[in-house]
């Protein structure tokens, strides 16, 4: 499939727990290219008291990566997003600085902790929606309130949130339980995005091409194109 997107990954050097150096970043990009990925939304973490790299530094390192990537992969497009860990001040932060959102749009790649309960996830998602943002819940298969109750996943979608799962989870690399849950979600049409969440080229690498092939075979070309191309285009539409 041409024109694949990876909309969740940690490839910008030296800003979070992903690529450490520009060399690491280029290795991951080679991997992405080998998987057939042409468009990447780079989503460095922002998490209070853990990943607080200033957005100015993120932007500077993003530009250095774009310049280097352009030499080896002139056909590849790299966009700047963010994986934003939920907190109580998030609405103000997101309103004030568009760099915490996906390419400055109203979409927010929203991460929770494994300790967060149903009430917290519902409340934080609703707060964003009522403030005019669209939460894209990052690797939702990791949160027990979601994977234990698929009806809660459905409730979040009905509320206006969108759900993302990781390619490795769909392919069964993160265990049988996650694989079965992701496939149930796909069958019920609850998955809007599949990202790699790649941090390196070893234990947390990209599997976008393999996963797109799997989704196409199992759920059809229309579903695969919606998840891997059309939906992520919403983040970049005004930048094409
Ligand atoms: Fe991530």
Mean pLDDT over 93-102 rounds to 95
Residue 145 alpha carbon to ligand 1 centre in Å: 19
Return d(Cα 87, Cα 100) in angstroms, integer. Answer: 13
The DSSP string of 71-99 is HH-TT-EEEE--EEEP-TTHHHHHHH-GG
The pTM assigned to this predicted structure is: 0.96
Classified by CATH at the fold level, domain 4-239 comes out as TIM Barrel (3.20.20)
Q: What pLDDT was estimated at residue 48?
A: 84
Q: What pLDDT was estimated at residue 230?
A: 97
Angle at which helix 150-159 crosses helix 176-187, to 10 degrees, equals 40
Q: Dihedral sign for Cα 62, 64, 68, 70, please.
A: positive
Q: Mean pLDDT, the chain, as a whole number?
A: 95
Say yes or no to pLDDT of 240 above 70: no
Say yes or no to pLDDT of 75 above 70: yes
Residue 153 alpha carbon to ligand 1 centre in Å: 19
Residue 66: pLDDT band with limits 50, 70, 90: very high
39 bridge partner residues: 5, 77
Mean pLDDT over 125-137 rounds to 97
Per domain, the residue ranges of the chain are 4-239
Residue 10 alpha carbon to ligand 1 centre in Å: 7
Say yes or no to pLDDT of 139 above 90: yes
Say yes or no to pLDDT of 238 above 90: no
Residue 45 alpha carbon to ligand 1 centre in Å: 7
Neighbours of ion ligand 1 (CB under 5 A): 83, 197
Residue 108 alpha carbon to ligand 1 centre in Å: 13
Q: What pLDDT was estimated at residue 56?
A: 94
Residue 9 alpha carbon to ligand 1 centre in Å: 6
- Percent of the chain scoring above 70 in pLDDT: 99
Say yes or no to pLDDT of 173 above 60: yes
Please check whether residue 155 is in contact with residue 186, taking contact to mean a CB–CB distance below 8 angstroms. no
Q: What pLDDT was estimated at residue 52?
A: 86
**pLDDT by residue (tens digit) across 20-64?**
999 999 999 999 999 999 999 999 999 988 888 899 999 999 999
């Amino acid at each position: 499939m041409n024109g694949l997107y990876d909309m969740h990954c940690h490839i910008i050097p030296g800003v979070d727990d992903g690529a450490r150096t520009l060399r690491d970043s280029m290795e991951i990009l080679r991997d992405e290219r080998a998987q057939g990925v042409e468009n990447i939304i780079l989503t460095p973490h922002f998490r209070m008291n853990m990943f607080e790299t200033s957005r100015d530094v993120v932007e500077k390192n993003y530009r250095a990566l774009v310049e280097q990537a352009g030499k080896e992969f002139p056909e590849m497009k790299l966009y700047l997003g963010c994986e934003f860990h939920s907190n109580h001040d998030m609405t103000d932060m997101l309103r004030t600085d568009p760099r915490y959102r996906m390419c400055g749009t109203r979409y927010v790649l929203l991460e929770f902790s494994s300790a967060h309960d149903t009430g917290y996830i519902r409340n934080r998602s609703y707060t964003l929606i009522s403030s005019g943002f669209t939460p894209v819940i990052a690797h939702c298969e990791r949160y027990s309130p979601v994977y234990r109750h698929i009806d809660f996943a459905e409730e979040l979608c009905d509320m206006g949130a969108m759900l993302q799962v990781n390619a490795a989870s769909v392919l069964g690399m993160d265990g049988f339980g996650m694989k079965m849950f992701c496939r149930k979600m796909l069958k019920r049409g609850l998955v809007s995005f599949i990202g790699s969440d790649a941090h390196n080229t070893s234990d947390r690498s990209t599997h976008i091409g393999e996963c797109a092939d799997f989704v196409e075979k199992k759920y059809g070309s229309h579903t695969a194109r919606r998840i891997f191309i059309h939906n992520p285009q919403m983040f970049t539409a005004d930048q094409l």
